Chain A
């Protein structure tokens, strides 16, 4: 879900995705960088992402990933589940209101 969310705004290459995750999570998700690429390939195999080669500004070839329609739908579904789950946990962890007698 994290990787799908990082690609929601625009297509990006691996390094930019890692940077985006780091930036949006305020550094909380400082993932080992190499682990993101197998995840990208797996999401592509599941047809949640598509990818193509592009030339970088300095002429290097880089693989750019983008969300597919299926990926966008999957992200929306996962987001809904997460919001429900986190709301439930939040309610459970909320400090109980003390009753005055």
Chain B
């Protein structure tokens, strides 16, 4: 292989660097195509054959822009199920904690000391969780209904806003869980058994952090790609 195809593939990889797995796959696929095309147009002049193959293929930036639209759609679609799975993960951690309280006959003296805070936090937790689940499901369905083809930035933004709203509601729900757990633990002396509810809240926090990181990563990717290709 002469330098022309190598340089073209480097440029294509650079243009697709916003999505590394796509970049690897496309470059390998395009390399096979260009080599085959160059072999077909070869009459002894390798450089000219490669130049011709690249000319027939088209400019790397234009090809990359066409891939970007599909890639962004795929990434956006993947956020919906992740949001819903994380919301369900938080629900499982919360239910496991409540079941553990019931099984061990855990004292509710802490909650009894601050009944108003407990009632408000419980209501907030419940409605924030329902909101997270509903907006997460709506975001999933909305993103799934987006058609591959020309990138619809408005629909993409709406889809991200639904995911972000689900994330924000989930943060509210987990914060309320932290308050409720703190109230439960505050009324009794420290024991090793406290680690169980603390660990379950820790799992909820970790899940929310993972969700924020995921939404941030996809949003950055979309921003980079739309700016690069003026989509």
Task: Please report A residues at the B interface, Cβ cutoff 8 Å.
Answer: 13-15, 32-35, 37-38, 41-42, 45-46, 56, 60-63
Contact = CB atoms under 8 A, between A and B. Distances in A.
A35 B32 contact: no
B94 interface: no
A13 B29 CA distance: 9
B30 A15 contact: no
A38 B33 CA distance: 14
Contacts of B28: 61, 63
Contacts of A14: 29, 32-33
A65 B26 CA distance: 14
Contact of B70 (A32, A42, A56, A61): A42
B67 interface: yes
Given A14-B29, A14-B33, A37 B148 contact: no
B32 A32 contact: no
Contacts of B25: 63
B6 to A, nearest CB: 15
A42 to B, nearest CB: 5
Given A15-B36, A42-B149, A61-B32, 18 more contacts: A14-B32, A14-B33, A15-B32, A32-B57, A32-B58, A33-B33, A33-B57, A33-B58, A34-B30, A37-B30, A37-B33, A37-B63, A38-B67, A42-B148, A45-B148, A60-B31, A62-B32, A63-B28
Q: Which bucket holds chain B's interface residue count?
A: 20 to 34
Contacts of B32: 13-15, 56, 60-63
Dominant secondary structure of chain B at its interface with chain A: helix
Given A56-B32, A61-B28, A62-B29, A45 B70 contact: yes
Contacts of A60: 31-32, 35
Contact of B66 (A33, A38, A46): A38
A10 B38 CA distance: 24
A37 B26 contact: yes
Nearest to B25: A63
26 contacts: A13-B32, A14-B29, A14-B33, A15-B33, A32-B56, A32-B57, A33-B56, A34-B62, A34-B63, A35-B58, A37-B26, A37-B29, A37-B33, A38-B67, A38-B69, A41-B26, A42-B70, A45-B70, A45-B74, A46-B148, A61-B28, A62-B32, A63-B25, A63-B28, A63-B29, A63-B32
Contacts of B26: 37, 41
Interface in B128-148: 148
B73 interface: yes
Interface string B115-131: 00000000000000000
Nearest to A56: B32
Contacts of A38: 63, 66-67, 69-70
B37 interface: yes
Nearest to B56: A33
A94 to B, nearest CB: 34
A63 B30 CA distance: 10
Contacts of A46: 148
